[in-house]
Homo-oligomer: A and B are copies of this chain.
Amino acid sequence: MEDVRVRKIVLDVLKPMEPSILEVARNITALEGVDGVYIDLLEIDKKVENVKIAVRGKNLSYFEINQVIESTGATIHSIDHAYTVREGTPRYEGFD
């Protein structure tokens, strides 16, 4: 599986109010292999925010992303989407 790459992961996450989604996005973006992070607030419930975190990159490590997220006191509820490719294959429209 040397040439298999994880290009996108979308996570459903429960987080405390602090740090803000801006801080979480910045921390994940700082990981090696990450190109960009997109976080949407889905729901606010007293002291908990339910957010969707989308991570894009050349090759993503779920282990490291999870570490960053848990270090902020948040919990991954589920992996909602995964996109993997063989390096060097064509991009498909609407497929990434």
Chain A interface residues toward B at CB < 8 A? 1, 4, 6, 9, 20-22, 24-30, 34-41, 44, 54, 56-57, 62, 78-86, 89-90, 92, 95-96
Contacts and interface: CB of A to CB of B under 8 A. Distances in A.
A25 B83 contact: yes
A86 to B, nearest CB: 6
B21 A79 contact: yes
Nearest to A21: B82
Contacts of A4: 26, 29-30
Contacts of A25: 6, 82-84
Contact of A44 (B41, B78, B95): B78
Given A4-B26, A78-B41, A95-B36, A20 B83 contact: no
